[in-house]
Amino acid sequence: MNIDNNAIHALINRAQSTKSSARADESASFATALAENTQEANRNTTVKPLEKYDFSNMTPQALHETMSALFQSGQVSFDETLSFLGLIPSPLDKVNYDGKVPTSYYQPVNFFAQIQERIEGALSRSEKQSAERLQQAADTLRRIQGQVRINSQT
């Protein structure tokens, strides 16, 4: 049996050109699909404005989450977070304990005004340490007020 070398080369060249055109088609279809998906993602993406901390209009739930995030990121100390515990309602604050947080946990509060009222109350009862702790909480809030939020979970 005689094998013609020219025929073998022709077959190899034809197979290679078929593979390269198939690769080119795959690359083109991948590039097209990628471009379409990128355009679709760009249409569906909305840019949210940067959110800033506003302790003059924040729910106790948001304060709780904010203080946890700030503590975890190292922006506030453990002692600073302790001064906020009294500002956040707990299930134990309810007259009829049912294990659920009070509805006030989800209602916006002006924490600056609330702290000021509590400072005045503590001073009227001669509770100097309590007033100092509350003043530290107010100072911490003023320091963070208006900064861009770490994450927009709240």
Strand locations in 14-129, DSSP E? none
Look over the chain and give the mean of its residue pLDDT values, rounded to a whole number.
77
The pLDDT value recorded for residue 121 is: 94
The pLDDT value recorded for residue 124 is: 95
Q: Which residues contact 56 (CB under 8 A, 6 or more apart)?
A: 110, 111, 112, 113, 145
b/e string for 121-149 if b means 16 or more Cβ within 10 A? Answer: ebeeeeeeebbebbeebbebbeebeeeeb
Asked whether the beta carbons of 14 and 6 are under 8 A apart, the reply is: no
Question: Does the reported pTM lie above 0.85?
Answer: no
Asked whether the beta carbons of 61 and 109 are under 8 A apart, the reply is: no
List pLDDT tens digits, range 21-34: 555 566 667 767 66
- pLDDT over 60 (residue 11): no
Instruction: Check residue 126 and give left, alpha or beta (phi > 0: left; psi -120 to 50: alpha).
Output: left
Local confidence band at 139 (pLDDT 50, 70, 90 cut-offs): very high
The pLDDT value recorded for residue 135 is: 93
List pLDDT tens digits, range 91-108: 766 667 777 777 788 889
Q: How many CB atoms lie within 10 A of CB 80?
A: 20
